[in-house]
Amino acid sequence: MTPPPDVRLTLPARPEGVAVVRQALAGMADALAFDAAVVADMKMAISEACTNVVVHAYDEDDGVLEVEMSAGESGLTIRVRDHGSGIRPRGERRGEAPALGLGLPLIAALSDSYELTGTAGRGTEVKMTFEYLREGDPADENPVQGSVGDDGRWDPDARGTHAG
Amino acid sequence: MDANPIVLDDAAGDVVVVVVEGEHDIYTAPTLRERLDEAISRRGGIVVDLTGATFVDSSVLGALLDARRRALEAGQGFVVCVGDAVEPGVQRILDITGLVPVLPVVNGRDAAIETARSGNGAGG
């Protein structure tokens, strides 16, 4: 079977774009032999990665969110990229509710491998890989640590009530 | 027509149910926060019904946890409920974050309303 072509999306880094990326991923996954549970994990992880770009990357509204999806022999590789400063959440500057801070722990738990690269002021890239045939649950290997803290943000050192 | 509605149902009287359907993320989280604010302002118990939700991410969890904290501080019960068949896009994030006992998440709206009505341990 010929694999689906690589997909590259460039869209404004705004909240309404995240669902569009999720739908594009669902379409890509339909063309590949993924288990429904893995598709659910991919949709969650890509949403969290895109949300990080929307919330953290840019000072203003004109930033760009880039997403690449590439089907390889053993799995699907997804890259989510920005070209922003990544300094502090935009919402905090606007007086909006702060982000929970759970995005990266979720990406680590849901993907079969992930890598975060970038330098301050030059943008950030999250690369995630999802295997067609999983040998185990990545959430067992990289469980989400901690629990919600008293300030309402995720505290990785808090004692959760779950295993891990 | 809104494909991802969030509406308040006050048929239970002293407990208001925030009914969340469809996909919810950073785009709809501000609306969810508004609905939760309105529910809390009614001074009774709050149930968030995710039975019809197909996807929720950490933006939604953040809104739920904020509302829960404020509700419990005000002595109002706060409970999340799901149906018998929970979408993977909802169950998975609840499972791996360990938030099922924290929020808490119970099965079925009626059970959730009863728990919220009793204040689910708020204030001690």
Q: Determine the residue among B97, B99, B100 to mutate to test chain A binding: the one whose Cβ has the most chain A Cβ atoms within 10 Å.
A: B97
* pTM metric for this prediction: 0.92
Q: How many CB atoms lie within 10 A of CB B77?
A: 24
Q: Is the pLDDT of residue B123 over 50?
A: no
CB nearest B93 (choices: A15, A44, A55): A44
* d(C-alpha B121, C-alpha A108), whole Å: 34
Half-sphere exposure of B120 (CA within 13 A, CB side): 27
Residues shown for chain B: 124
Q: Are strands B6-9 and B15-20 parallel, antiparallel or unpaired?
A: antiparallel
Q: Give the closest residue to A144 by CA, choosing from A130, A158, A126.
A: A158
What confidence tier does A122 reach under pLDDT thresholds 50, 70, 90? confident
Distances (CA, A) of A17 to A10, A85, A124, A164, B24: 10, 20, 18, 33, 13
SS3 A147: strand
What confidence tier does B122 reach under pLDDT thresholds 50, 70, 90? very low
Interchain contact, A43 vs B55, CB within 8 Å: yes
Rg (CA), chain B: 13
Q: Give the closest residue to B116 by CA, choosing from B47, B35, B38.
A: B47
> So what's the pLDDT on residue A2?
72
Output the DSSP codes for A33-60.
Answer: T--HHHHHHHHHHHHHHHHHIIIII-SS
Chain A CB contacts of B36 under 8 Å are none
* d(C-alpha A66, C-alpha A77), whole Å: 14
In this predicted model, what pLDDT tens digit does every residue of A62-78 receive, in sequence order? 799 999 999 999 999 99
CB nearest B26 (choices: A15, A144, A161): A15
Interchain contact, B92 vs A143, CB within 8 Å: no
Q: What is the pLDDT averaged over residues A134-147?
A: 94
Q: Is the pLDDT of residue A99 over 90?
A: no
CB nearest B96 (choices: A99, A139, A148): A139
Token pair recorded at residue B45: 């118990």
Pinpoint the alpha helices (H) of chain A.
17-30, 36-52, 90-93, 103-110, 138-141
Q: Is the pLDDT of residue B124 over 50?
A: no
